[in-house]
């Protein structure tokens, strides 16, 4: 049985068939036909963002918290360009996103028409793939293909640009394509698994190095099992935090720029580094030539382009992390490695990670731990970007994959609040807490309105030091204390702003009992902003100075 549908109706129907139930976006002239069709859908809930970048980060929050592809929408011109930062962020952190943008009619492309930009061209370097659709028939192939590409291999964003006349043109549909799904995983070469097994069994001082790819492939449990079977001390990148519980006896925590000193010192001594789903980012390695100077390297990653890109591996394995670890787990020998485990415990004792003020909820570390004490391990944590992000990475007790959502590769201020909204929409059974700074929150503060309209269970902990904290820190340490453009001359009343946007707000500075005030604010259903002043002189320590080796950390 055939039916006559417009390109816009076809697009919405295909999204429904993909299982998409929530999208975020902002309408505009070039995408209005799709919005008209979307308004007639009973299956898809549309979240009206207040800035297209916010819509992109809401979609990211949905995708990061669930591992499933998510969708954002924008119109042509400024709508599309506003979306680009969120797309670039998704590319660097390997997030499966499908961005659908409206475009001027085909005959007007290239004429500098109203709100025309070359969205296709602009998005080439920041997407996994992109499409400029030329007919409604083409949508039947493009939309499923977009989801297939976004989820296959290394996940990433795909952009679909649809001219307005393609949206309005009607065609007859007799048969619907199958929804786009991730391509089957290729089995790992057994010979490579055998080589890796031999290297691990022979190593005396191995370290397991987990990256975000472990999260994307659902391999956290297998990675922990491997570490436990072969007694592998384990480090994690910023993107992998939570894959091994923070209090696991084999956990050395986060490595790199703001790691504990003992973590980076252990890497100095290891004789085998087993890198899994990690890309040797500069924030993790410090000076690359000095990273793990005594170690042979096994590098397992789904993306062949990552192998030998930064650090040459002695054994490179291009494979899905979960599939490779599943083969590796039964092959490696049980090994107590007691001498090496004891050495790591000695390093922890000699160079403990100091968190001053941990019992004081008015200090930065104390605030983070007090918030954590009000929540269980089912809570989801998002952050913006800055000092608060690193303090949370250091102090929050993360114990499960996909508990921790943060902008790692692009480091985008303004990520935290909309990502928290997206996570709460995708998993309404969880409480979502967003840690942000007074600089970061102002990048997308308009999305507080969206939080209020959707009544999401998001708690926004605003750590306010009246500065751009990491800029202030670097100017203080590396620019002769010449502070410029990093201190705010005045600060808005965040409590009144939140209340004006329609959400509850609590000022911990005025609370007689900040612990009780925090507990009450977090327990209250719906969105809430929690404001807390932080000393601007507090710094993120330890710290690897720019261009230095990880062993040359400064600070605590």
CA-CA distance, 254 to 262, in Å (whole number)?
11
Are 169 and 39 in the same domain? yes
Domain assignment present for 547:
no
Closest CA to 408 of 87, 90, 58: 90
CA-CA distance, 362 to 148, in Å (whole number)?
47
Are 127 and 81 in the same domain? yes
- Last residue of a domain, which of 319, 350, 381? 350
> Which CATH number does the domain housing residue 491 bear?
3.40.50.970
pLDDT the model gives residue 130: 98
Domain assignment present for 438:
yes
303 to 150, 154, 244, 277, 420: CA distances (angstroms): 14, 6, 23, 9, 28
Are 234 and 294 in the same domain? yes
Are 266 and 370 in the same domain? no
pLDDT the model gives residue 331: 97
At 298, is the secondary structure helix, strand, or coil?
A: strand
Are 52 and 128 in the same domain? yes
CA-CA distance, 424 to 344, in Å (whole number)?
38
pLDDT the model gives residue 289: 95
Are 243 and 383 in the same domain? no
Are 84 and 196 in the same domain? no
pLDDT the model gives residue 370: 98
- Residue 342's domain comprises 190-350
Domain assignment present for 387:
yes
Residue with tokens 């970007």: 385
Are 194 and 324 in the same domain? yes
Total domain count, the chain: 3
Domain assignment present for 555:
no
pLDDT the model gives residue 105: 98
277 to 50, 216, 236, 323, 521: CA distances (angstroms): 35, 9, 10, 12, 37
> Which CATH number does the domain housing residue 276 bear?
3.40.50.1220
With beta carbons less than 8 A apart as the criterion, state whether 102 and 79 touch. Answer: yes
Are 299 and 216 in the same domain? yes
Domain assignment present for 542:
no
Are 11 and 136 in the same domain? yes
With beta carbons less than 8 A apart as the criterion, state whether 34 and 162 touch. Answer: yes
CA-CA distance, 299 to 315, in Å (whole number)?
6
Tokens of 461: 């902990």
Residue 358, burial from CB neighbour count under 10 angstroms (0-12, 13-18, 19+): middle
Domain assignment present for 217:
yes
CA-CA distance, 476 to 555, in Å (whole number)?
13
pLDDT the model gives residue 268: 97
102 to 38, 108, 145, 163, 456: CA distances (angstroms): 14, 13, 18, 6, 28
With beta carbons less than 8 A apart as the criterion, state whether 187 and 323 touch. Answer: yes
The string of pLDDT tens digits covering residues 69-92 is 999 999 999 999 999 999 999 999
- Last residue of a domain, which of 124, 140, 173? 173
pLDDT the model gives residue 100: 99
Domain assignment present for 183:
no
pLDDT the model gives residue 1: 79
Are 213 and 168 in the same domain? no
- Mean pLDDT, consecutive 10-residue stretches, the chain (556 aa), reads 96 99 98 99 98 99 99 99 99 99 97 96 98 98 99 98 99 96 95 98 98 98 98 98 97 98 98 98 96 98 97 98 98 96 97 94 97 97 98 98 98 98 98 98 98 99 98 97 96 97 97 96 97 97 96 91
- Last residue of a domain, which of 147, 173, 199? 173
pLDDT the model gives residue 211: 98
Are 446 and 374 in the same domain? yes
CA-CA distance, 423 to 420, in Å (whole number)?
5
Domain assignment present for 182:
no
């Amino acid at each position: 049985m055939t039916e006559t549908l417009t390109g816009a109706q076809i697009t919405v129907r295909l999204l429904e068939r993909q299982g998409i139930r929530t999208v975020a976006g902002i309408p505009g002239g070039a995408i209005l036909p799709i919005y008209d069709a979307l308004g007639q859908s009973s299956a898809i809930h549309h979240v009206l963002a207040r800035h297209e970048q916010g819509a992109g980060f809401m979609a990211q929050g949905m995708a990061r918290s669930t591992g499933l592809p998510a969708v954002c929408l924008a119109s042509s011109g400024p709508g599309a360009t506003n979306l680009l930062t969120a797309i670039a962020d998704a590319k660097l952190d390997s997030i499966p996103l499908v961005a659908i943008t409206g475009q001027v009619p085909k005959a007007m492309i290239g004429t500098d028409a109203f709100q025309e930009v070359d969205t296709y061209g602009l998005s080439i370097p920041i997407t996994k793939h992109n499409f400029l659709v030329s007919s409604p028939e083409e949508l039947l192939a493009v939309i499923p293909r977009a989801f297939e590409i976004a989820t296959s291999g290394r996940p990433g964003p795909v952009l679909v640009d649809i001219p307005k006349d393609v949206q309005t043109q009607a065609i007859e549909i007799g048969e619907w394509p199958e929804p786009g799904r991730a391509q089957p995983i290729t089995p790992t070469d057994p010979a490579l698994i055998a080589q890796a097994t031999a290297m691990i069994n022979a190593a005396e001082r191995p370290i397991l190095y987990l990256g975000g790819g472990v999260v994307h492939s659902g391999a956290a449990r297998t990675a922990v099992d491997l570490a436990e079977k072969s007694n592998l001390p384990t480090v994690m990148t910023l993107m992998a935090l939570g894959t091994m519980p923070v209090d696991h006896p084999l956990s050395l925590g986060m490595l790199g720029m703001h790691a504990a000193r003992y973590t980076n010192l252990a890497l100095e001594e290891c004789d085998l580094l087993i890198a899994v789903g990690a890309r040797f980012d500069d924030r993790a390695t410090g000076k690359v030539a000095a990273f793990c100077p005594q170690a042979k390297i096994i590098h397992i990653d789904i993306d062949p382009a990552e192998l030998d890109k930064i650090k040459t591996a002695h054994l490179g394995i291009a494979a899905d992390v979960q599939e490779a670890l599943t083969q590796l787990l039964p092959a490696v020998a049980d090994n107590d490695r007691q001498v090496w485990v004891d050495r790591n415990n000695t390093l922890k004792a000699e160079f403990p990670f100091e968190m001053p003020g941990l019992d004081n909820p008015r200090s930065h570390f104390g605030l983070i731990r007090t918030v954590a004490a009000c929540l269980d391990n089912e809570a989801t944590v998002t952050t913006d970007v800055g000092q608060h992000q690193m303090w949370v990475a250091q102090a929050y007790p993360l114990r499960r994959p996909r508990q921790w959502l943060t902008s790692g590769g692009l480091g985008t201020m303004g990520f935290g609040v909309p990502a928290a909204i997206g996570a709460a929409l995708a998993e309404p059974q969880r409480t979502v807490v967003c840690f942000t700074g007074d600089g970061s929150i102002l990048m997308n503060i308009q999305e507080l309105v969206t939080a209020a309209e959707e009544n999401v269970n998001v708690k926004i902990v605003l750590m306010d030091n009246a500065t751009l904290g990491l800029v202030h820190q670097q100017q203080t340490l590396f620019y002769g204390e010449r502070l410029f453009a990093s201190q705010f001359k005045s600060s808005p009343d965040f409590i009144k702003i939140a209340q004006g946007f329609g959400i509850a707000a609590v000022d911990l500075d005025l609370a007689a009992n900040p612990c009780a005030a925090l507990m009450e604010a977090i327990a209250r259903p719906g969105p809430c902003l929690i404001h807390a002043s932080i000393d601007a002189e507090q710094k993120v320590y330890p710290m690897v100075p720019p261009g230095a080796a990880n062993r040359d950390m400064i600070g605590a």
